[in-house]
Amino acid sequence: MSHIKACIFDLDGVIVDTAVYHFKAWKRLANELGFDFTEEDNEKLKGISRTQSLELILGWGGVSKTDEHKLELATLKNKWYVEMIDEMHPEEILPGTREFLESVRDAGYKTALGSASKNSVKILEKVNLINLFDVIVDGNEVTASKPDPQVFLEGARGLNVNPDECVVFEDAIAGVEAALAAGMKVVGIGSAETLTGADLVVSGLDKVNLETLKGL
């Protein structure tokens, strides 16, 4: 018998596909610095923080910068990224997301967001989903990025439930590792080859329902 009481959702790659906007903004930055990187490289940026992403990208370009300049570059990338997410609308919500959120809330489960992004509130407002979350924990609150479990443990704490009463929905391997380290169940969103360790892997939230939660 499942004792799940709460669902914690990653944002990018689970609720909306903002990865495409991150990619465009990072690519623009890399191009201005005189190099390029591939969509394959971009996969490695999923779920990790803005500053860690910048470090990886500068490494790929063989470019070194002072800490002050790195801050300027991250700020510039975020400005371009925010210009794009400012144009987001509810049609960009990934299939099944609103329906699943509404059904779990109607059934009495609590809901939280557990994202590395510092822009999560803006995105949830733009796609009109903010009211479906009891608690939001994101990159503004945490001091340690995924795979550290902090973001999900803070979510459980905010919801007043135990970690083992939570299931996390996550598309990035760093996020699956964070959820497992938190002692939570994990539903991977993506491919089972990549998301090893997840209790279940599906292609999207349109493939899960209340029965899925009971089976965990």
Set 10, 36, 138, 164: catalytic member = 10
Residue 19 or 132 with smaller CB distance to Mg ion: 19
Candidate residues 7, 12, 119, 159; the one interacting with Mg ion per rule CB under 5 A: 12
Radius of gyration of the chain (CA): 17
Residue 30 or 172 with smaller CB distance to Mg ion: 172
Catalytic residue list contains 86? no
Q: How far is the CB of 55 from ligand B16 (least distance, A)?
A: 11
Distance from C-alpha of 204 to C-alpha of 196, rounded to nearest angstrom = 16
Which DSSP letter does residue 163 get? G
Residue 36 or 206 with smaller CB distance to Mg ion: 206
Beta bridge partners of 188: 170, 201
Distance from C-alpha of 114 to C-alpha of 180, rounded to nearest angstrom = 14
Identify residues 38-67 at the interface with Mg ion (CB under 5 A).
Answer: 47
Residue 83 or 106 with smaller CB distance to ligand B16: 83
Q: How far is the CB of 214 from ligand B16 (least distance, A)?
A: 26
Catalytic residue list contains 134? no
Structure tokens, 14? 């689970």
Q: How far is the CB of 52 from Mg ion (least distance, A)?
A: 14
C-beta of residue 50 within 8 angstroms of C-beta of residue 140: no
Distance from C-alpha of 114 to C-alpha of 117, rounded to nearest angstrom = 9
Alpha helices per DSSP H over the chain: 19-32, 39-43, 50-61, 67-85, 97-106, 120-126, 150-159, 173-181, 210-214
Distance from C-alpha of 136 to C-alpha of 45, rounded to nearest angstrom = 22
Evaluate the CA torsion angle 117, 118, 123, 128 in order and state its sign: positive
Identify residues 161-190 at the interface with ligand B16 (CB under 6 A).
Answer: 172
| Residue found under tokens 């803070």 | 154
Identify residues 125-164 at the interface with ligand B16 (CB under 6 A).
Answer: 139
Identify residues 2-61 at the interface with ligand B16 (CB under 6 A).
Answer: 10-13, 22, 45-50, 53
Q: Which does 183 bind (CB under 5 to 8 A by kind): ligand B16, Mg ion, none?
A: none
Residue 78 or 162 with smaller CB distance to Mg ion: 78
State the residues that interact with Mg ion by CB under 5 A: 10, 12-13, 47, 171-172
Active site amino acids: 10, 12
Catalog residues that contact ligand B16 under the rule CB under 6 A: 10-13, 22, 45-50, 53, 78, 115-119, 139, 172
